[in-house]
Amino acid sequence: MEKVQRRARAWLLGKTRPMEYRVAQLEALGHFLDEKNILDALASDMRKPPFELCCSGPVLKRAFLMLWAFSQVTQLDSAFIHKDLYGVVLILTPWNCPVHIVLMPLIGATAAGNCVIVKPSETTKNTERLVAEALPCYLDNDCFAVVTAGVEETTKLLENKFDYIFFTGTPSVGRIIMTAAAKHLTPVTLELGGKNPCYVSDNCEVQNVARRVAWGRFFNAGQTCMAPDYILCSVEMQEKLMPALREAITEFYGSSPQESPDFARIVGDKQFRRIRTLLSSGRVAIGGQTDEQECYIGEDIRA
């Protein structure tokens, strides 16, 4: 693929190695976050509330931490660890945080002096288009590129030799990524999620726990890999926690969460139907309402 070959040539020429070049690219990424259309794209894809873009806070902090590290690196000269760049890096991102999880590995790969190809998720089409159109306006196109692709095109993309691959997504796709990487002995970072039980002890402060669980569970409409999946507690604590959770949900999203501007939507019909199928288990204690036309699933808590 020409896009891969062009970045490989730039890396072999050493274009990304100078510290000044890396700093300039990190600063450019900071300017990308000023794009006004980011909010519009996220709202179109999953009605993501503006305040949830606070996820970009750690992204900016990481970029500035990298800049600070560059400024400090020459002040110590007695001992050091030498780390070299990999080369051409491929970043494959998911749909649940389609801006945040593009930028986090991109910042690290850029700071290290690599060339990068980003493949945003095709599920969040508006954000995919934004990244494809806007990001190249800020970065050096000799060293950075965005590829928009479906499953078939991504499979062909993986046939190319990369020097490192970042992937965030499901275990089933992770196996495909690792199989493709193994052909070239390419090192990979796979972030594949998992289960997140939440233990609540009998001597905790119930209102604080309820607010934290409600925030963690319903942030991004629950579509994060770190959302609490289930609570482990005593029967006595359950009797205290249920009304506290109901109160916290009302505090965050009002008496009618479907009308709240602060509650996102499920990303698409396929995911909506999958989640709705899961709702057949357990006894509904709070929420559980669904609206297929809006891809809305209310705050669902089951006993």
Task: Give the residue numbers annotated as catalytic, written as ranges.
Answer: 191
Tokens of 277: 């199928």
Residue 170 near residue 194, CB atoms below 8 Å: no
Distances (CA, A) of 152 to 110, 184, 262: 28, 20, 36
Q: Helix H segments across the chain?
A: 2-12, 19-32, 37-46, 56-72, 100-111, 125-134, 151-157, 171-182, 206-218, 235-253, 269-278
The SS3 assignment for 214 reads: helix
Residue 123 near residue 267, CB atoms below 8 Å: yes
Compute the distance between CA of residue 102 and CA of residue 85 in angstroms, rounded to an integer.
19
Residue type, 171: P
Q: Which residue has the tokens 């209102």?
A: 207
Residue type, 63: A
The SS3 assignment for 285 reads: strand
